[in-house]
A and B are shown apart, each in its own frame.
Chain A
Amino acid sequence: MSLDYLWQGFGVALLPSNLLIGFIGCFLGTMIGALPAIGPINGIALLLPIAYTSGLPAESTLILLAGIYYGAEYGGRISSILINVPGDAGAVMTAIDGYPMARKGEATKALAISGISSFIGGMLAVLAITFLAPLFGLLAIKFGPAEYFVLMVFAFATLGSMVGHEPVKTLIGCVLGLMLTTIGIDATSGAYRFTFEQPELYDGIEFIILVIGLFSISEVLLMLEHQMKGTLKPLAVSGKYPTLADIRYIWWPSIRATVIGFVVGVLPGTGASVASAVSYTTEKRLNDREGTFGKGDIRGLAAPEAANNAAATGAFVPMLTLGVPGSGTTAVMLGALMLYNIQPGPQLFTEQPKLVGGLIASMYIGNILLLILNLPLVQVFARMLLLPNWILIPGITALSILGVYSAYSSVMSVLLMFGIGVGGYVLRKLGFDMAPIILGFVLGRVMEVNLRNALAISGGEISILFSSALSIILWIMAAAIVILPWLIRRMQVRRAAAVA
């Protein structure tokens, strides 16, 4: 196996412009992670149009967006520790032992320990990706239109079975996303579909409008309901830095959490929040002999932080190897690549080695930057928590409007964004997740085109979808992923019934 792609990638990531972009991404990511009001996916949605319209090349845009994503996992811990409110979903478990430490006057130590374990988790996970990515690249040549189509089915199956406790809502979300891709001129036949003679619709719904509407505008609408007035009061960043003995103490918990986090992150549909919860409970079960967990045990702090960073990195594996998104955030990133005419699919690695290598190399650099940023500058980021909503929310709204306007120079597009935002708000209130819609939207065109190409090759014979070994394996995996969790749940219920 050759790691040439990685060296080539370092050539890309070490360009001064990309170093700067990576730094900006990590810095903004930490900030966005620290703010309870906005999560990484919002940050990515808001910055994507800026990157795209300012003419950045694809690999630079990806380095920026990825930096925001894994940077946010560093930042999320700050508000968990200082105000007991997680900055994003992956940092919920961090508060359990982090906040008690800050109350004892050990905030500096808590922030440093979580920064170091975040670094361990992030760095080891990038190392794992480095060796995994080329392996999957070998598969890419075996993919014809039929296999492609089945791969997309597989991607939906994983999401449907993993996300939430109401799979029907996930499935409806996927279908709605797919439906949105059918608007516009059909590439194969040139037919006008759902355009209703409106020239604005000929090219279909633009990805940037959809993402900003679904995530940012609906988020603002949700926040308006609660109207959090005033500011939060973070605890002071005080106390000593951790000692070498402390770091040795968290070493193994962090390593275990990294493995758990990475595996959970690779699985489609789950993410940092599941990873940190699983690793925290594992550590508590293994090591909580004196009952110190939950009262400020540094191992209980290190484990979820290492895990959520490893998971955020692991989530790139399905994207970089098979070219299908494993999470909402990576779906947005793949959508961003489509703006550059890069199609999702397993050829991503073979056809875009510069892009994939550049991204992976930038993650090594980014994690080092984040460690440096997060140890001495944590005070600066902690000050972000003092930013009141009456400054923040107007800013998010302005960025949303400007992002869409600067990409399409059209007032209609901005109004469409608000319309989509209202739709997203209603769906979120009804318990729908936005990620399946984005996934459907990103994969829709590829799915339809490949299905039709496959059937054109076979002359309409459906059996082509089951004809190769690879497609049969993918069908079996898709079926297993849907059926197994359901089967396990049933077995657990039966066992519980037998015990009772």
Chain B
Amino acid sequence: MSAPSHLQQRSGRVAAAILILFALIYGYFGATVEYSFSSDPIGPRGFPVALAIALALFGAFYLIRPGEAEAWPERDGRNAALFFLGLAVLCVIGMDHIGFIPAMAILMVGIARLFGATWLLALVSGVAQALLWWALFGPVLGGNLPKGPLGF
């Protein structure tokens, strides 16, 4: 294995700093949990505070020795991931408005395109998958999937 590059070490250090910061915030909220009575001597605050201390401690070790991390993706990979997440969030929120089948079909077509399908193949497989998953989780398994204005 090659020696970790400067950049990779840096992302480990940044992560460690974020973890320590998180430990402090978590510890603060843990130490200020409000309660009137607890049947045990530790109460609801003790465990979170102990965890916060542990995370801060391990985070400090991690900060000193960040170890190995993989390189972050190039622009293409990053765009693909952002497109995937954006589309997924839109379609999930959109399910309640336009119905499950149309929303899922849009998402399926979009992901198929990301993985190199032609428009025709993406459309056919995307719509087919949307129908298949609807049938499986709706009528077959008896789930209640969101309906759009068209009734599906």
Contact = CB atoms under 8 A, between A and B. Distances in A.
A189 B38 contact: yes
Given A390-B122, A409-B144, A418 B88 contact: yes
Given A168-B65, A406-B137, A451-B47, A394 B111 contact: yes
Interface string A390-432: 1101110111011001100101001100100010011001110
A295 interface: no
B121 interface: yes
Contacts of A221: 81, 84-85
A445 to B, nearest CB: 10
Contacts of A178: 51
Interface string B78-101: 001100110011001101100000
Interface in A141-185: 166, 168-169, 171-172, 175-176, 178-179, 182
A50 B133 CA distance: 12
A54 interface: yes
A220 interface: yes
A223 to B, nearest CB: 8
A224 B29 contact: no
B116 interface: yes
Contacts of B73: 225
A415 B92 contact: yes
B17 interface: no
A221 B84 CA distance: 8
A199 interface: no
A394 B125 contact: yes
A352 interface: no
Interface residues of B, number: 70
B33 A192 contact: yes
Contacts of B29: 194
Contacts, number: 190
Contacts of A426: 15
Given A50-B141, A178-B51, A188 B65 contact: no
B102 interface: no
A459 interface: yes
A398 B125 contact: no
Interface of A: 50, 53-54, 166, 168-169, 171-172, 175-176, 178-179, 182, 186, 188-194, 220-221, 224-230, 388-391, 393-395, 397-399, 401-402, 405-406, 409, 411, 414-415, 418, 422, 425-426, 429-431, 448, 451-453, 455-456, 459-460
Interface of B: 11-12, 15, 19, 26, 29-30, 33-35, 37-44, 46-48, 51, 54-55, 58-59, 61-62, 65, 67-70, 72-73, 76-77, 80-81, 84-85, 88-89, 92-93, 95-96, 104, 107-108, 111-117, 121-122, 125-126, 129-130, 133, 137, 141-145
28 contacts: A54-B141, A54-B142, A169-B67, A172-B59, A175-B54, A179-B55, A182-B51, A186-B33, A191-B38, A192-B34, A220-B84, A221-B81, A221-B85, A224-B77, A225-B77, A225-B81, A227-B116, A390-B114, A394-B111, A397-B108, A402-B133, A402-B137, A415-B89, A429-B72, A431-B70, A452-B46, A453-B40, A456-B41
